[in-house]
Amino acid sequence: MNSPDSDEKYLVRAIRTDEWPAVKALRLRALQDPIAHLAFLETYEDAAAKPDSFWQDRAVGAAEGSTGVRQFIAEDPVGEWVGTVTVLMEEPGTTDWAGCPVDRSQGHVVGVYVRPEHRGCGLTEVLFDEAVQWAWESGVDRVRLFVHEDNGRAQRFYRRFGFVPSGHTVPMSGHPEQTELEYVLERA
């Protein structure tokens, strides 16, 4: 796909099961980003300590053809992975990552990351288009995500994309003075 403001072309697609080493490498790179402490609930040290079997299982569960989770990546013209987003399907009657009940069919966007040198050219929008479209095609009523209260750049992007704050907040585990804000996008 062409990015809106650049001559570079990106291929956005779902991961494949055998690509677990690249899944691992991109996640570890994301966790080293200067704002990773605001963007992710996991630390680099925790992720780096996980065995290869964890990353293999993660890739199998989120690969093309999976139904409950789908991870999308963006490849640059030479095939290097430069961005990612994952959608988790949540069903009524279950509980979410924070232990809150889920009352409707929804997609939950997580793991949003674009390498710094590829930011600002429309790539995040292209990744989100693919992820949200997959969620709608999967039959959900809405798509949601959580964003740290101090991550203003991400909040601005989510609003531009059409997400709005729901008013639901979750205190950060281990840091109750910090809050994650829920943003939602209702099916049109």
Other C-beta atoms lying within 10 Å of the C-beta of residue 44: 17
Coil, strand or helix: which one is 139? coil
Lookup result for tokens 């709608």:
136
What pLDDT is recorded for position 2?
41
Q: Kindly give, in sequence order, each residue whose CB lies less than 8 Å from that of residue 78, ignoring residues fewer than 6 positions away.
A: none
> What does the angle CA 97 – CA 40 – CA 176 come to, to the nearest 5 degrees?
65
Domains of the chain and any CATH numbers = 11-141 (3.40.630.30)
Cα of first residue to Cα of last residue in the chain, in angstroms, is: 24
Q: What is the DSSP letter of 2?
A: B
Cα–Cα distance for residue pair 37/172, rounded to 1 Å: 11
Q: What is the CA radius of gyration of the chain?
A: 16
In the DSSP assignment, the letter for residue 99 is S
Average pLDDT over residues 153-176: 90
> Which tens digits make up the pLDDT trace of 98-149?
888 999 999 999 999 999 999 989 999 999 999 999 999 999 999 999 999 9
Supply the pLDDT for residue 7: 43
* C-beta atoms surrounding 177 within 10 Å: 6
- Residues 32-84 have pLDDT tens digits of 999 998 899 899 999 999 999 999 999 999 999 888 999 999 999 999 999 99
Contacts of 97 (CB under 8 A, 6+ apart): 41, 108
Which is it for the CA torsion 114, 119, 125, 126, positive or negative?
Answer: negative
